[in-house]
Structure 1
Amino acid sequence: MAVSGGEKNIPSSNIPTDDRMEWVPLALTLVEYPQGDWLGKMFALASLMPFGIIAGFVALVLFRRDLHTIAFFIGTMVNELINLILKHTICEARPMHRNGLYTEYGMPSSHSQFMWFFAVYVVFFVFIRLHHMNNSTVLENVWKTAIILSCISMATMVTVSRVYLQYHTWKQVLSGCLVGVIFAAIWFAVTHLFLTPLFPIVASWRASEFLMLRDTTLIPNVLWFEYTNSRQESRARGRKLVSMKSQ
């Protein structure tokens, strides 16, 4: 059947229809919860935390270009690779297949492994790497405790959510927790003892200068350093601007 207006004839057999097209959900981001269950909805939102953390990693790598942040992100990706290898080696199914939406293996839980790797690495980073020398010990302990409790709380919430929403068994999420904790300790040790001494050399490479990669290892607290330096620079530029206007 010809189409008016000069358009070409398109054989109907080339046009996919819903009857012939198989739709596959992206299980990576798909989270279901019981209708009307506010706790289930909260846990479903909590299950999306790993994706928010990954987005934050990408933003930090792009805009801060810090070698330790890049090493942390690489460790996160290696942790995910380990999870993938373990899943396809153990080949343990999930506790249930809701309408066949989830067909990949569930042992160990990737969400739990990701969150506990992140949380434990941050704990090591706060205790060993992060020091705020310009503040009192009490205040320093307060914000360190807040960071640690926040990370552990998020990891716990995501772990419980995977069982509550019936995507994993307790054995699967606890196995993910164990693998994440162990690999976080190993990766932090590798980064702190072996990679960190190489950061000044890497930062001096011509390619690193072109990419604006930097090493902040010797700075006790990067946040405080950037805050004080940006404040001083802002004040200096403000005084210069006032001086130019008064002339």
Structure 2
Amino acid sequence: MDDRQEWRDFALTHVEYLSGDFIGKTLCLFSLLPQAMIVSIVTLVVFKRDLHTISFALGVAVCELLNIMLKHWIREERPARKRTSFGHYGMPSDHAQISWFMAGYLTLFLLVRVYLQYHTWWQVVCGGGVGLALAVVWFILVHYVFTPCFPQIVQWRVCELLLICDTTLIPCVMWFEYANIRQEARARQRKLHPSSKSQ
């Protein structure tokens, strides 16, 4: 790519693309997927309050903290063309690491951070490797160490106050919620309108 071309900021982000580069602008949008996924996870935690969802969210937080520590330990610069105000070090790629941790969008993120010159291929591969390794370790911890403790954890007073639940033994949480809400709504309807029982 020509150094003389003008780089433009994508609105509401710190991601840049070359002026007139449709692919670059499109990939800028895709580079926001980790943030959208994190917002989705936080929303699920707030509304579902399920220990598996909370554990996954904690894993994402651990992954991000590990990325920050690795960047400051390795101290590898970003590609020469891309010195940014939001992060001096590029190794490992936080986008690649979080994406691999969440097991999604691998191909897009490999293209996004390299194409836009925020990371080298090696930084993206390393970020992906760290994210994948942490995902495996975290999965083992959650399912073999934490999950057996969930029945005791939900008994804690703080969990009762925050309405935190354990859905480990429920095979289809959506159907369970639907059936229980439907049953409760019908029971309340009968209490409000006793004459509707005969209908």
TM interval, shorter chain, is 0.7 to 0.9
- Report 1 or 2 for greater relative contact order, CA contacts < 8 Å, sequence distance ≥ 6: 1
Q: Deviations over 1:168-203 (max 9, x none)?
A: 000000001111111100000000000001111010
Q: Does residue 109 of structure 1 match 2:99?
A: no
Q: Deviations over 1:153-177 (max 9, x none)?
A: x232122100010000000000011
Matches within 5 A, 1:201-240: 201-237=152-188
Please identify runs of 4+ aligned residues in structure 1 that moved more than 2 A.
96-103, 227-247
Counterpart among 76, 87, 94 of residue 60 in structure 2: 76
Higher deviation after alignment, 218-227 or 186-195: 218-227
Question: Does the aligned pair in 2 maintain the 1:94–1:105 contact within 8 Å?
Answer: yes
Residues 206 and 173 of structure 1, relative CA distance in 2, 3 Å threshold: same
Matches within 5 A, 1:155-170: 155-170=106-121
RMSD of aligned C-alpha atoms? 2.4
1:194 maps to 145
Rounded Cα–Cα distance in structure 1 between residues aligned with 2:84 and 2:40: 32
Matches within 5 A, 1:122-137: none
Question: Does the aligned pair in 2 maintain the 1:96–1:167 contact within 8 Å?
Answer: no
Rounded Cα–Cα distance in structure 1 between residues aligned with 2:20 and 2:175: 45
Secondary structure in 1 aligned to 2:19? Answer: coil
Counterpart among 19, 44, 50 of residue 60 in structure 1: 44
Identity of matched residues, %: 50
Secondary structure in 1 aligned to 2:166? Answer: coil
Higher-Rg member (1/2)? 1
2:69 maps to 85
Secondary structure in 1 aligned to 2:24? Answer: helix
Secondary structure in 1 aligned to 2:17? Answer: coil
Count of residues in Structure 1 that have an aligned counterpart in Structure 2: 188
User: TM-score, length-normalised on structure 1?
Assistant: 0.69
- What displacement does 1:69 show? 0.8
1:44 maps to 28
Residues 108 and 41 of structure 1, relative CA distance in 2, 3 Å threshold: same
- What displacement does 1:246 show? 8.8
Secondary structure in 2 aligned to 1:104? Answer: coil
Secondary structure in 2 aligned to 1:33? Answer: strand
Secondary structure in 1 aligned to 2:16? Answer: coil
2:4 maps to none
Question: Does the aligned pair in 2 maintain the 1:92–1:106 contact within 8 Å?
Answer: yes
Q: Deviations over 1:3-53 (max 9, x none)?
A: xxxxxxxxxxxxxxxxxxxxxx9xxx4111112222111110011111111
Q: Give the partner amino acid of 2:169.
A: L
